[in-house]
A and B are shown apart, each in its own frame.
Chain A
Amino acid sequence: MPRIPSRWVLSLLVGCLSVHAAAAQTPPQRLNYSRDIQPILSNNCFSCHGPDADERKGGNDGLRLDTPAGAAEDLGGHRAIEPGNPDKSEVVRRIGSTDDDERMPPPETGKKLTAEEIALLTEWIRQGGEYTGHWAYIKPVRPVLPAVENRVWPRNAIDYFVLARLEREGLRPAPEADRYALIRRVSLDLTGLPPTVAEAEAFAHDADPQAYEKLVDRLLQSSAYGEYWARSWLDLARYADSAGYADDPPRTIWLYRDYVIRSYNDNKPFDQFTVEQIAGDLLPDPTPEQLTATAFHRNTQTNNEGGTNDEEFRNVAIVDRVNTTLAVWMGTTIACAQCHNHKFDPITQQEYFRLFAFFNNTEDADRRDESPLLSVFSDEQQHLRGELERELASLNETLRGQSPEQAATRKRIEELTRQLAEIKPQTVPIQRELAADKRRATKIQHRGSFLDVGDEVSEGTPQTFPPLPTGAPVDRLALARWLVDDDNPLTARVIANRYWEQLFGIGIVASSEDFGSRGDLPSHSELLDALATELVRSGWDAKAFLRLLVTSAAYRQSSRVTPELEQRDPDNRLLARGPRVRLSAETIRDQALFVAGLLSTKLYGPPVNPPQPTVGLSAAFGGGIDWQTSPGEDRYRRAIYTTWRRSNPYPSMTTFDAPNRETCTLHRSRTNTPLQALVTLNDPVYVEAAQALARRIVREGGATAEDRASFGLRICLLRDGKPAEVARLAQLYERSRSRFANSPDEAKRLATDPLGPLPAGMVDGELAAWTVVANVLLNLDETLMKR
């Protein structure tokens, strides 16, 4: 092969690393296998020369490049990797070959190494070709704070890591965002709702040096906090109010949704939250709350289509539970190993089914009735039942013989008995372990087929990871504790990273769903480890952790960006500015109802049906997909309470990237499309919000068009409008009003349909024109974004 001059290698390295490690400017002294080499090998070589012997070229005896022993194996006088000597390494010869029959990866795979990748591999071998374990499988240790030059900027530990990197890159952090921007940002991030104008003003003028910290504490105490943060957990839990598949019938499981909201609001430690959901039924004397938690894994789909085999779909549900558990807690994509040994990460098919075995012995079995169910009376119902039962008991006492009074008593007893029977408990599907004599054996399923089985396996965790805690039965409870064990290298990192992603728009590990060898490397690996260890040290205290994140100087930066910085770091991986990302589907809707003054603050309860278009279709083999809009304030509840039908998720939210929740969603995309514009411009829900906002503007916004335009801007954006903005909106108002002067019917419709008649004293033409303005306000880029 042609020799690559070492000077050329180095210049390539500079260019390459700045691409793949987010703008590192200087070449490292030494290449790191896990960071620099493994991603190349994993993406290009491991599918034929990796951990999976079945797929490996040459089978059991075939070449492996994922282990040092494999790479050093004698291939008949030469070795794939000759440490320190690229010229004698077969790998280097083959990747640089110009002969199609020789070149690796083979052209028919469609894979091709870039010159930079070839240079990196060559240089790594020259440096000794040393393999280190995958970074994410090594337990994080609390790093020491790095030294920084700017001693003034850091507010907490996070900032030292961020600043050290910025200083290395020759960048400076942005100034702190102004107070209006800050309160809007942190309110949306902690509660999913913007602040009121009064709250923003109070914060802007609060002279207390701890004003921001006080604000954060108040937000974390609000019940809106749990409603907001539960949403992302429900994406992971694939929570929905229907059972899935073709007919997708309704499923009553909202007590689980309320469990999640309450757990966040009560700041339940994450390890406890974990154990309850995975194995609450195996805790000693489980409470109704702990049993409700096990509905986490009852959110899998049930197939009720005629002619389906329940055992087949029970197996599908177990597979989902295995995949979801590993993905949610450990950022490990394990689905590949259901059918064959994992090609990239060291998990065998046998290990997959050992995990499967943990989940394979619960009573549920793809039944239409979703049994087993837990029946729970609400506090109110409990109270009423107590009263009825007490009266019943005392009447029974007095009942003797036959007399007219006693006839009345008997009648009353009948009445009470009837009333008692009418109080129906709420139900929720739960997990319950099968009795000892009914347990199922778990066998390896070939190619993932439940009918084609092999050896029996017992419960166990993959060898790559630390062992299960000893001295306890090997069951789901042990697995749950293992997930949040101090020695688990992944869970704390994965959870910390997910919180970070929610606030900053992108994770420290950008592939928040994959911490395996094909996932992205952390942009700030020490920061991630600092956060992970801190999360564990705090006793998995989510509120304390979020408080740490949002009180950092890094989070509080202005999101304004210069063209140079935008060019250099478009995804803000270096954190030289504050986060600015589009709000989620739910938050966009909640915010519109909130600023309009329509949003209901009612907590918990059965799912509700806000208005959605009538489409006149039925589900396959199922009922109609249209619904009756809920009456009263239920029309305006927070989006988390909206009925989530998997085959027909609420259309306006789907358009803003809400998933259908059929399977665990680890990561929502954030698209920007014309169909989204049509939702916020024309969906009657948003038109109604604009009408209500218009009425607020007229009622509270002052006398002149300019005053009212400013007021509207302040409600929606929590800042003073610039003169040009105010003038433009006032102009839109005037022009709209003059149009409506000649078309009173249209004015009436735009002002009142669907919100209803105007209050006394309001005029159609004026309100219709303000509805046009309010519609614009609800569609501003700034409204739809976190600033």
Chain B
Amino acid sequence: MDPRLEHIQLSTRRHFFKNCQLGLGGLALASLLPDRLFPNARAAAPQAVINPLAPKQPHFAAKAKRVIYLHLTGSPPHLDLYDYKPQLVKLNGQPCPDEMLKGKRFAFTSGKPNLLGTPRTFAQYGQGGVWLSDAIPNLHTVADEMCVIKAMTTDQFNHAPAELLLYTGSPRPGRPSMGAWATYGLGSENENLPGFVVLISSGVQPNGGKNSFGSGFLPSVYQGVQCRSKGDPVLYASDPPGMSRDLRRESLDALRDLNEIQAQELGHPETLTRIAQYELAFRMQTAVPEVMDISRESQATLDAYGVQLGAASFGNNCLLARRLVEQGVRFVQLFDWGWDFHGTNPGEDIRDGLTNKCKTMDKPIAALINDLKARGLLDETLIVCGGEFGRTPFREGRTAAGSVLGRDHYPDCYSMWLAGGGVKGGFSHGESDELGFSIARDKVHIHDLQATILHLLGFDHTRLVYRFQGRDYRLTDVHGEVVRGIVA
């Protein structure tokens, strides 16, 4: 090939590393180098040279290679799903003890609320004897894959700040999200797909808007890309009306030829980068609709997930999540609106309302776990499921006089669960006190959860950093301890 082009390509690679400031602590730069070298600019590979999503090695051997994060926006009532409190049931309807309320603030409750024992029935499931309620019958069958943390705590009791704290380590908008950090650190295993994909069901954005999956101050290439099963699977992925794929190829050939003339003329490496990005975009235009097309799945699979073809349902998104991680996408983030069980309407009642909402979630999640397991992917895929905080052990103040049973936001003590990807299955970690107000043992703060997720992905959370405005930032801010107790 032209020695000049070759030179530009070589320097492009160096240029990229320099400009992207991959300040990955102890990550050896050499490990960032893609394995393919620099063939002819026209061949399929030069994008590997400059692809910021090229796979990278973490700090140490990872338990999990990828993450599926199932976010139940609004925060489900954990006391009616995972954390069984018989004493609270016994004291149902009694006023909250003063010491439980002292010095606390709640979003919608003031004065002295009444305790609310769960109206649901609980039992232990699987070899591990994990406690689960009757609202999630399908999860009973996969209890031995679940690792339930019953001692979660966060600092925020309003949705948006709590969700941002969970995903970015800070309650204020502006920092990179967990998926962006993971993609920044690990790259993606499939260069034809975005490294970090977001799937939204129930028609509402997450509380933090795009910040909950944004790249903050990291380069925008690491932000979550929202994919959809209807319309353009990725924004602007479809060629304009009237332009066939062949014609698009034809036009990109011409574009590449003109850009190459320009590269020869001015000698700027970025021109070659751009040529490569257009080739990548062209392949993405095919790869994304393919992976998003769930109608290619067998009827048995569709039935297992409870898929409704053409809808943006949580079930469809669970199946899409499996298809995406199977194709090497690093981080798949689901957001499902409608878990804010205040009790302001019958849909938010922790009896029938919760049963109905859980029907849309319980079956597909169990199917996802089984499906990943059957394909040998569960061991290296971490599943995380939960809300941005928990819900109170008492009835929410505004709705206490009505007939609908609801709970207020509660940050001090709540539950979430993980599965696969290097965590202990059939396992419960931590405990709340007998009324569920505070943590009795093995507290896990949001920053600890983040540190643990990064740990499972092979990172020391204190070393996955990015220098911005004079400071080394990380997902865990200046906090976070890995929860060793849940690591298998």
B-binding residues in A (CB < 8 A): 110, 244-246, 248, 301, 303, 305-309, 316, 327, 333, 335-336, 344-345, 511, 513-514, 516, 518-519, 559-563, 566-567, 570-571, 580, 582, 613-621, 625, 646-649, 651-652, 654-655, 657, 660, 662-663, 666, 669, 671-679, 681-684, 687, 722, 724-725, 728-729, 731-732, 735-736, 739, 743, 745-751, 753, 768, 772, 775-776, 779-782, 784-785, 787
Contacts and interface: CB of A to CB of B under 8 A. Distances in A.
B290 interface: no
Interface of B: 4, 7-8, 11, 14-15, 18-19, 25-26, 52, 73, 105-108, 157-161, 172-174, 194, 200, 203-211, 214, 219-221, 225-226, 228, 231-232, 234-244, 246-248, 250-251, 254-255, 257-259, 261-263, 265-271, 273-275, 277-278, 280-281, 284-285, 312, 337, 409, 460, 462-463, 469-471
A678 B234 CA distance: 9
Contacts of A743: 244
A306 B220 contact: no
Contact of A619 (B14, B204, B238, B263): B204
Contact of B462 (A110, A335, A513): A110
Contacts of A570: 11, 14-15, 18, 269
B258 A675 contact: no
17 contacts: A308-B107, A333-B470, A560-B267, A617-B204, A620-B204, A620-B208, A647-B209, A648-B209, A662-B172, A678-B284, A678-B285, A681-B281, A728-B254, A739-B247, A745-B242, A780-B259, A782-B259
Nearest to B160: A246
A620 B471 contact: no
A595 to B, nearest CB: 16
B347 to A, nearest CB: 16
Given A336-B471, A674-B277, A736 B247 contact: yes
Nearest to A677: B281
Contacts of A780: 255, 258-259, 262
Contact of B251 (A617, A662, A687, A736): A736
Given A682-B240, A749-B241, A775-B251, A620 B105 contact: no
B207 A732 contact: no
A669 B219 contact: yes
A687 B240 contact: yes
Nearest to B280: A674
Contact of B234 (A306, A675, A735, A746): A675
Contact of A768 (B214, B242, B281): B242
Contacts, number: 273
A736 to B, nearest CB: 6
Given A566-B11, A672-B273, A677-B274, 19 more contacts: A303-B161, A307-B108, A327-B469, A336-B471, A511-B470, A563-B11, A615-B228, A620-B73, A620-B204, A625-B205, A646-B173, A646-B209, A655-B220, A662-B211, A675-B235, A677-B280, A728-B257, A748-B242, A780-B258
B278 A514 contact: no
Contacts of A768: 242
A561 B265 CA distance: 9
B8 A660 contact: no
Contact of A308 (B158, B235, B273, B460): B158
Given A682-B240, A739-B246, A768-B242, A779 B160 contact: no
Given A671-B221, A753-B241, A768-B242, A781 B4 contact: no
Given A654-B220, A675-B281, A307 B107 contact: yes
B238 A682 contact: yes
B256 to A, nearest CB: 10
Contacts of A787: 266
A732 B256 CA distance: 12
Nearest to A451: B105
Nearest to B312: A616
A750 B244 CA distance: 10
Nearest to A560: B266
Contacts of B158: 246, 303, 305, 307-308
Residue from A248, A514, A614, A617 with most neighbouring chain B CB atoms (10 Å) = A617
Contacts of B337: 620
Contact of A662 (B19, B107, B174, B284): B174
A672 B173 contact: no
Contacts of A666: 469
B10 to A, nearest CB: 9
B267 A562 contact: yes
A306 B241 CA distance: 44
Contacts of B251: 732, 736, 772, 775-776
Nearest to B108: A307
Most chain A beta-carbon contacts within 10 A, residue among B14, B240, B271? B240
A110 B26 contact: yes
Contacts of A676: 277
B409 to A, nearest CB: 7
Contacts of B460: 110
A672 B270 contact: yes
A512 B281 CA distance: 32
Q: Most chain-B Cβ atoms within 10 A of its Cβ — which of A246, A567, A674, A749? A: A674
A663 B267 contact: no
A688 to B, nearest CB: 9
A573 to B, nearest CB: 11
Kindly list the 6 A-B residue pairs having the minimum CB-CB distance in the complex, ordered from nearest.
A647-B209, A307-B107, A750-B242, A749-B242, A246-B160, A677-B281
B258 A729 contact: yes
B321 to A, nearest CB: 18
A660 to B, nearest CB: 7
A647 B284 CA distance: 26
A649 B210 contact: yes
B266 A776 contact: no
Contacts of A648: 205, 209-210
Contact of B159 (A246, A327, A672, A750): A246
A784 B204 contact: no
A781 B271 contact: yes
A677 B275 CA distance: 10
A663 B469 contact: no
Most chain A Cβ neighbours within 10 Å, of B160, B208, B263: B160
Nearest to B240: A687
A781 B274 contact: yes
B72 to A, nearest CB: 13
A663 B172 contact: yes
Contacts of A580: 266, 268
A512 B211 CA distance: 24
Contact of B244 (A671, A683, A746): A746
A732 B254 contact: yes
B471 A652 contact: no
Nearest to A570: B15
B337 to A, nearest CB: 8
A248 B203 CA distance: 16
Nearest to B194: A675
A51 to B, nearest CB: 14
Nearest to A333: B470
B281 to A, nearest CB: 4
B210 A684 contact: no
Given A617-B200, A648-B210, A687-B240, A566 B8 contact: yes
Contacts of A776: 251, 254-255, 258
Contact of A682 (B225, B239, B244, B275): B239
B5 to A, nearest CB: 10
Contact of A647 (B205, B239, B257, B409): B205
B243 A750 contact: yes
Contacts of A681: 236, 239, 248, 278, 281
A663 B214 CA distance: 14
A663 B203 CA distance: 27
A563 B7 contact: yes
Contacts of A673: 52, 220-221, 277
Nearest to A345: B470
Contact of B236 (A301, A327, A516, A683): A683
Contacts of A308: 107, 158
